[in-house]
Amino acid sequence: MSIAIAKQIRLIAFDIDGIMTDGGLYLSDSGEEFKRFNSLDGHGLKMLKTSGVELAIITGRTSHCVELRAKNLGITNVYQGVHDKRAAIKTLLAELNIAPEHAAFMGDDVVDLPAMRHVGLAISVPAAPQIVQSHAQYVTQRQAGHGAVREVCEWLMSAQGTLDAQLAPYLA
């Protein structure tokens, strides 16, 4: 958990399944996919964005509910159906003119490793395979879909000295 690295983060990209959700795939008999998102995570993402950190979603699956969730949170950098997450993060960093060492990626499986290894701060969750956790500089205490994203958002804001300002309106 390098605070020095966290201070420099200007962009964080998230996988969806197993990071913003608990990793379960809910399918109806008609084939419709459902995902359960955590509202605490959502507010953490909004505060982090307001604090000046760019947000992105890079996921291998394609789902309309991810598009809706991103819109609700104000996340405009959304990449779905991505098979090469390293290429996607490289493209995004180039578009935003952000150096890899100033970016973070939060993933939970081996398909996320190329993106995690390309950025300055790799983050994962307790349920991730050991190989993924071994490549992460930060593994959350909270489980995916149960506040792990909020934990990361608050940790980054705390490291960057912006958390108190984001919480101030609620403490006045």
Cβ 119 vs Cβ 89: under 8 Å = yes
Burial 91-126 (b: 16+ CB within 10 A, else e): ebbeeeebeeebbbbbbbbebbbbbbebbbbbbbbe
Q: In angstroms, what CA-CA distances link 92 with 30, 43, 109?
A: 35, 23, 21
The C-alpha atoms of residue 143 and residue 94 are separated, in whole angstroms, by: 31
The C-alpha atoms of residue 133 and residue 75 are separated, in whole angstroms, by: 26
**Does the annotation list 15 as a binding residue?**
yes
**Does the annotation list 22 as a binding residue?**
no
**Does the annotation list 17 as a binding residue?**
yes
Enumerate the known binding-site residues for substrate. Answer: 17
Enumerate the known binding-site residues. Answer: 15, 17, 108
Enumerate the known binding-site residues for Mg(2+). Answer: 15, 108
